[in-house]
Copies of this chain bind each other. A is one copy, B any other.
């Protein structure tokens, strides 16, 4: 169990961001100390990895929350429930592919922009 400061160091995000994630229900610490200090576990760090990958792709906190929800629900689910969560997950996989495509377009945008500036430079 580590306090928020250590978790911030290891995750690379600020303490305030972690507080915010807690407030909106995106990433809740596994426990609290007697005095109310947030206590995080290694497992919390694991869950954070999902956030770390999704955020740069432009997903909202709410969407990340939902993905974590599905992933959590999937471990331990069986039968119909399992199928249901799987199809929810498929939706997110689709969304991720769409984002990937968008990001690739942005690389092309960057190239166009750089070309535009270089042209202006020597005009």
- Residues of chain A whose beta carbon lies under 8 Å from any beta carbon of chain B: 49-50, 53-54, 56-57, 67, 71, 74-75, 86, 89-90, 92-93, 96-97, 99-100, 103-107, 109-114, 116-118, 120-121, 123
Contacts and interface: CB of A to CB of B under 8 A. Distances in A.
Contact of A120 (B71, B105, B109): B71
B114 A110 contact: no
Given A100-B107, A103-B103, A113 B74 contact: no
A33 B11 CA distance: 54
A113 B54 contact: yes
Number of copies: 2
Contact of A57 (B93, B109, B116): B109
Contacts of A50: 113, 116
A116 B53 contact: yes
A12 to B, nearest CB: 14
A74 B106 CA distance: 26
For A75, A92, A109, A111, which residue has the most chain B Cβ atoms within 10 angstroms?
Answer: A109
Contacts of A96: 110, 113-114, 117
Nearest to A54: B113
Given A50-B113, A57-B110, 18 more contacts: A49-B116, A53-B109, A53-B116, A54-B113, A56-B105, A56-B106, A71-B117, A75-B123, A89-B120, A89-B121, A96-B110, A96-B114, A99-B110, A100-B110, A100-B111, A103-B107, A106-B106, A107-B107
